[in-house]
Each structure stands twice: as structure tokens, then as C-alpha cells.
Amino acid sequence: MARISREVRSKILSYISEVGIATRNDIIKTTGIDGKTLTNALNALCEEGILELINERPKTFKYQPRNVVKVDFNEIEDYYQLKFYVFKNLREMGWRLSPRKHEIAAIALMYTKFTRFRVLIFGSQGVGKTSLIRAVLGHTEPPLVLEDLHTKKLYDVFSSVKENTKVIEEQYRHGWGREMPSKFDKFQIVPLSKIGPSELLFRFIPIRVTQPISSAKGFFKQVHFEFLNVPNSKSLLPEQAVELLDKRLGEYCYFTIDPARIEEVVNKLKIDELVNYTDDTSAEFYRINARYDALIRDDVKLANWTELWDIQSLYDPLNTDLQLWNNALEVLKFNYAWSGDVENAVRQTVDFIVDAFSTFTLVKRKDV
């Protein structure tokens, strides 16, 4: 996004906020701004959601009043209050929401705004992913935000992703034109093949946003979060906070989203069933093979085969992946600066990571 000087921004918005709708020529005549300066300014204001291009010929812009939601970290005590506050305000602004999805994604984006935490937001088309990004970050252009990596060559974008990108926005990776992306919303577990490139997990923490299930309260309004009294998360963490985070994260494990590991277990189950089948009936052997082969061909149904969910070897502790751990550490820094208490900061950090993973897979305590 091109930078806009305060003077240019003020002149354009002072005029168009008064008239509501104006053509490009109207803006030129009133403000005296034209050429590339005006083009860049109008494009940037449209990206920010302040203006909407409603007609191409002549170019006509509509002023969109900013619906500012103030998030004051001196008034909101913890992560749990913040979840409720975000959900409540989005609902009041006419957003249709999926509880425990949209507000988690919004808070994840908040962490990316103020720390080195990185997130991959994925899901169906038209569920509000872009609107959430715009609400928290203000704009959605690369390299800060990259969209739909499955339509690009990973090699071409990987260096940018590693160095500069904080947010990846993806639809479910699917067969274009052959299936509706929203079909995957009904499944509790989303395998890696439908999320994103394995090279980027968990460099970016995945969070799924699904089709809303609540009715809207009034008309949709684009929200802009304004953060006040933001904690300074750059100070060093106490050593006991890091040790406690590792311990508490290790108490939770998630069902793997790697289809190759799941397939390996299923093949073993198939072999066990064939070996233990004593009747000499070739037709039954064929049915057993056909049943398992059908499962393996569809990795979404395979991951959601409930008979697998009790197999402990398919669960991984949340503290074993280095990239996941680094992202959790960024969240802990922010939460500790916010609360000033090690125990509370660690608890909130772990609960956030559990909430994030619960949007796309099963998470359970090790002793359950």
C-alpha cells in the first residue's frame, strides 16, 4: 500500500465524508489533488475500507464511516474477557459468526500485529477472513498478508513468506469447480492437504474460520479495532515462565493432520483384520480391502474416521514442534507484559493455542 500524506488524506476525507458519494473528478475539483497521488490515495483508502468503489465509469467512491471498536488493555483484564468482548462487538456490528472461530482468528491477528506471531487463516469462501484481517491490521496487501498460496508456485513466494509475511489467508485447498469449499466445514478435523503447504506449518499457526451459524443483528459494518495501552512485549521473560509454558503445553496433545501418518495406521489396522479373519471367503477379503482402500483415497474422511480418534500414537504433544513453540513464546511475551503474572500469562497462552488448534483438529489433555 502506498503511503498517503496526512494532508492528502485529510483533504480527501474531509470532502467525501461530507458529501457521502463523489466521483474522481469531483474530488479533483474540490481538493486540487490529481494524478498518481490521487490514484494511490484512493486505492489505499479503498484497501482500508474507508472508501468503496461503487462505479467504474465514471469512477465513483462511497464513504464508509469507520466503525471503531476500542480495545483498551487497561480495561480488559485477560484473554477470556477479550474473546467475549471481540465476539460481542462483532455481533453488534452485524457480523454473522461461528463461535470459537471468528473471535479466535481476530485475537490471533492481534498477536501478529504486536509480536512476531504468525498465523494462517483458512476456511470457506465468504466467511469474513479478509474482513477480520482488515479490522485488525487495516489492510490486506502483500508481503504482510499473502492470499491463496495454493494458486502460486511455493518456490516463488517462499523467501518472502519466511522473511516478511505475518498472515496467510487461504481457502480450503480443493478441486476448483468440482466441489464447494464449504463442504469441509462440517468435518471436525481438517487434514494438512486442505490447509496449506507442509513447509509452512507450524511456522504459521493455522486457524479455521467456518460458515457462520448465528443470524446477523442488523446490517454488516466493517469494524476497525483501535488498540489502546498495548503491553510492551519486548522485555525479557522470566526463566520460570518459559519452563512453565513448556510443561503446560506438553500436557495437551492434538490429533495429527498428516494424512501419511494416518494412512500408515489404517494400513496396519487393515492387515490385522485380514490376518485375524479365519473364514476362507475371498468375497469378504475383497470387501475388507475395498472398505479400507476407499477410506485411504479420501484423506478428509480418513482423518474424521472416529475409530482412529482413540489411538494415542496419532496424537502429538503441543510442545514438540519448534515452530509451534516459537509462536507460542511470542504469545506468552505479550500475555506476560499484559498480566504481569507468570501463572496467568502461561495459562492464557496455552488456552489460546488450544483454542486455535481446536478450530481444525481434536485437542485433549494427555491424561484424558
| Per-residue H/E/C for 71-99 | EECCCCCCHHHHHHHHHHHHHHCCCCCCC
Query: Quick check: is 323 in a domain?
Result: no
Last residue of a domain, one of 197, 228, 259: 228
Confidence of residue 362 (pLDDT cuts 50, 70, 90): very high
Band of pLDDT at residue 48, cut at 50, 70 and 90:
confident
Give residue 19's Cα distance to chain centre.
37
pLDDT at 5: 82
pLDDT over 70 at 2, yes or no: no
Q: 146 is in which domain, residue-wise?
A: 67-228
Tell me how many domains the chain contains: 2
Same domain, 40 and 111: no
* DSSP conformation letters of 11-49: HHHHHHHHHSEEEHHHHHHHH---HHHHHHHHHHHHHTT
Same domain? 151 vs 175: yes
Query: Are 35 and 87 contained in the same domain?
Result: no
Report residue 366's pLDDT band, with 50, 70 and 90 as the boundaries: confident
For residue 179, the model assigns a pLDDT of 67
Same domain, 44 and 89: no
Segment among 24-38, 292-306, 316-330 with least mean pLDDT = 292-306
Flag whether 306 is in a domain: no
Same domain, 54 and 112: no
Which of 228, 245, 272 is at the close of a domain?
228
> Are 22 and 126 within one domain?
no
For the segment 179-189, what is each residue's pLDDT rounded down to a tens digit? Answer: 676 789 999 99
Given 162, 194, 228, which residue is the final one in a domain? 228
* Tens-digit pLDDT profile for residues 174-228: 766 666 767 899 999 999 989 988 888 899 999 999 998 777 788 888 888 989 9
- One domain, residues 19 and 131: no
26 and 101 share one domain: no
Going by C-alpha positions, the residue among 320, 323, 171, 349 that lies closest to residue 254 is 320
Do 44 and 86 belong together in one domain?
A: no
Q: Is 60 helix (H, G, I), strand (E, B) or coil?
A: strand
Q: Is the pLDDT of residue 151 over 80?
A: no
Per-residue confidence band for 250, with pLDDT thresholds at 50, 70 and 90 = very high
Q: Would you state the pLDDT for residue 180?
A: 74
CATH number of the domain that residue 38 is part of:
1.10.10.10
pLDDT computed for residue 213 by the predictor: 78
CB 123 within 8 Å of CB 183: no
Is 325 domain-assigned?
Answer: no
- Residue 280 clears pLDDT 60, i.e. is over it: no
In a domain, 59, yes or no: yes
pLDDT of residue 270: 86
Q: Is the pLDDT of residue 153 over 70?
A: no
Phi-psi label, residue 125: left if phi above 0, alpha if psi -120 to 50, beta otherwise = beta
CB of 284 within 8 A of CB of 290?
no
